[in-house]
Structure 1
Amino acid sequence: MAQGCLKCLKYTMCAANFLCFVCGVAVLGFGVYMMVSFNMSALTPALAKFNFANMLLISGIIITCVSFLGFLGALKENRCLLLTFFLLLFFLMLVELTIACLLLVYEREIADLVTKDLNEGLQKAKKEVNPANSTLMSEWDVVQEKLGCCGVINVTDWGDKVPRSCCLSACDVAKPPYKQKGCLGMMQHMFEENFLTTGISVIVLCVVEVLGMCFAMTLFCHISRSGLGYKL
Structure 2
Amino acid sequence: MVQSKSCMAGCAGKTARVLLIVFNILFAVCGVTILAVGIWLRVDPSVVQLQELVNLDSKNPNLANAAYILIGFGGFMLLVSVFGCCGGIQKSRILLGLYIACLVIIFIGQITAGILAALYKTDVEHTIESNLLGVLENDYKPGRTKYTQPWDYVQVWLHCCGVHNYTDYKDIKFGVGQMVPLTCCILENEDPNDPMPKNNTRCQLEANQTVAGEFLKPLGCLDGVTNAIKEYDGILIGVAIGIAVIEILGILLACCVCKNIHSEKLA
| Cα contact 1:42–1:135 (8 A) shared by 2 | no
Instruction: State which structure, 1 or 2, has the greater radius of gyration over its C-alpha atoms.
Output: 2
- 1:17 Cα shift? 1.1
2:219 to 181, 205, 225: 181
TM-score by length of 1: 0.87
Whether 2:236 is the aligned partner of 1:198: answer yes
Secondary structure of the corresponding residue to residue 149 of structure 2: helix
Summarize deviations over 1:96-148 as a string: whole Å, max 9, x none: 100100111122211111110111122245235x24xx233222222111111
* Mapped contact 2:96–2:254 kept (Cα < 8 A): yes
Q: Residues 183 and 202 of structure 1: is their aligned pair in 2 closer, same or farther, counting only changes over 3 Å?
A: same
Distance in 1 (CA, whole Å) between partners of 2:251 and 2:198 is 58
Partner residue in 2 for 1:13: 20
Contact 2:185 2:198 in 1 (8 A): yes
Match of 1:33 among 12, 27, 40: 40
The residue that corresponds to 2:53 in the other structure is: 43
Structure 1 CA distance, aligned partners of 2:235 and 2:30? 17
For the residue of structure 1 that corresponds to 2:161, the secondary structure is: coil
Q: What value does the CA root-mean-square deviation take over the aligned residues? A: 2.1
- Aligned residue runs from structure 1 range 163-178, under 5 A: 163-169=181-187, 170=197, 173-176=200-203, 177-178=215-216
Q: 1:30 to 1:201 in 2, by over 3 A?
A: closer
Unaligned runs of 5+ in 2: 1-7, 175-179, 188-196, 204-214
| 1:149 aligns to 2:149 (yes or no) | no
Report the counterpart of residue 57 of structure 1 in structure 2. 71
Provide the residue aligned with 2:103 in structure 1: 89
Letter in 2 for 1:19: L
Once the two structures are overlaid, the 10-residue window that deviates more, 143-152 or 45-54, is: 45-54
The structure-2 alpha-carbon separation of the partners of 1:56 and 1:13, relative to structure 1 and needing over 3 Å to count, comes to: same
Residue identity over aligned pairs, in percent, reads: 27
The residue that corresponds to 1:79 in the other structure is: 93
- Please list the CA deviations of residues 46-93 of structure 1 after superposition, one character each: whole Å capped at 9, or x if unmatched: 462352221121012101101111111111110000000001000111
Are 2:214 and 1:208 equivalent residues in the alignment?
no
Q: Do the aligned partners of 2:185 and 2:200 also contact (CA within 8 Å) in 1?
A: no
Instruction: Answer whether contact 1:28 1:57 (CA < 8 A) is retained.
Output: yes
Q: In the TM superposition, what is the alpha-carbon distance from 1:172 to its structure 2 partner? A: 6.0
What TM-score do the two structures reach when normalised by structure 2?
0.77
- 2:150 corresponds to 1:136: no
Q: Distance in 2 between matches of 1:203 and 1:212?
A: 14
How many pairs were matched up? 225
Amino acid at match of 2:26: L
1:135 & 1:225 partners in 2: Cα distance? 66
